[in-house]
Amino acid sequence: MPPCLEPYLGIAVWGLAAVLWYLVLWTLLACRALASRYGLAALLVVLIIVSCQPVSAQGIPSAAAQYQRELTRVVQHEWGMNGRVAVHAAQIHQESAWRPHVNSPVGAQGLSQFIPTTSAWIVEIYPDLGTAAPYSPGWAMRAQARYNKWHWNRLAGTADQCERWAMTMSAYNGGLGWVNRDRRLARAAGDDDARWFGHVERYTNRAGWAERENRDYVRRILLTLTPRYVRAGWAGGAPC
């Protein structure tokens, strides 16, 4: 599902719930037998369960389900059994909305939106990834997990895992060099360069559009999408 359609999914879910309530009330009025104390209680329990189930997965494209097992395996292999699968899932959601053959206007490709130069670079430093194949979901997920780990290992000195993940996401989107420059600007201003939210994110020399994209990218993945995937049962928990 394209990200621009996500807000309408919630409307559809609640619309369906309203229709279900209407049908139940109509049935109760039409059939007195269902209005008995025990029948009504049982019916209400069933209705609550049915109407709440879609909400738990609200906003997650249906295509994500087919990749959940593979992404879990990839992330846990790269990061350990406590690897942040939900964070990686949220990142794919933001990057491509789980569309493996999508191209961005700037040339990024596939599920994890690697630009060709980055795809070529990462297979040079990690030959075990094989030939660059950004349109292959399996390769894209492996390269994404490895690229996140590469950034993570170079972003020490953060206050906690939440802040480190924030800087890792910023680096994936805009480059490690920019994150390091932003941290230096924060430090020069007497601010805390170990914290992204409310601190490093306030400092940059990037173009206005690039700053907005980068800051929104980090916040949406970690504060909006990751909790959504955690609630839907994806492993690893939310770092923030």
Same domain, 82 and 200: yes
Q: What secondary structure letter does DSSP report for 205?
A: -
pLDDT at 13 over 60: no
The whole-number pLDDT of residue 53 equals 40
Report if residue 239 sits inside a domain. no
pLDDT at 9 over 80: no
Same domain, 92 and 163: yes
Instruction: Give the pTM.
Output: 0.78
Residue pair 110/135 in contact (Cβ under 8 Å)? The answer is yes
Report if residue 135 sits inside a domain. yes
Same domain, 11 and 28: yes
User: Using CA atoms in the order 98, 58, 197, 214, what is the torsion angle rounded to 10 degrees?
Assistant: 30
Same domain, 103 and 147: yes
- Which tens digits make up the pLDDT trace of 64-116? 999 999 999 999 999 999 999 999 999 999 999 999 999 999 999 999 999 99
Distance CA 92, CA 86 (A): 10
CA distances for 56 relative to 72, 84, 135, 229, angstroms: 19, 19, 29, 9
Report if residue 148 sits inside a domain. yes
The whole-number pLDDT of residue 44 equals 40
Same domain, 143 and 70: yes
The whole-number pLDDT of residue 197 equals 98
Phi-psi region of 175 (alpha: psi -120 to 50; beta: other; left: phi over 0): left
**CA–centroid distance for 194 within its chain:** 23
Report if residue 103 sits inside a domain. yes
Same domain, 28 and 140: no
The whole-number pLDDT of residue 57 equals 53
Report if residue 237 sits inside a domain. no
The whole-number pLDDT of residue 151 equals 98
Report if residue 38 sits inside a domain. yes
| CATH value at residue 79 | 1.10.530.10
Residue pair 141/74 in contact (Cβ under 8 Å)? The answer is yes
Report if residue 12 sits inside a domain. yes
Phi-psi region of 233 (alpha: psi -120 to 50; beta: other; left: phi over 0): left
Same domain, 30 and 140: no
Q: 180 falls in which pLDDT band (50, 70, 90)?
A: very high
The whole-number pLDDT of residue 128 equals 97
* Number of domain units in the chain: 2
**CA–centroid distance for 150 within its chain:** 19
Same domain, 140 and 200: yes
The whole-number pLDDT of residue 41 equals 42
* Domain ranges, residue 20: 3-56
Same domain, 184 and 92: yes
Distance CA 106, CA 128 (A): 27
Would you say the C-alpha torsion 47, 53, 56, 58 has a positive or negative sign?
negative
Of residues 148, 178, 135, the one with CA closest to residue 87: 148
pLDDT at 10 over 60: no
Same domain, 35 and 109: no
Same domain, 68 and 46: no
Q: For the residues 158-162, what does the mean pLDDT come to? A: 97
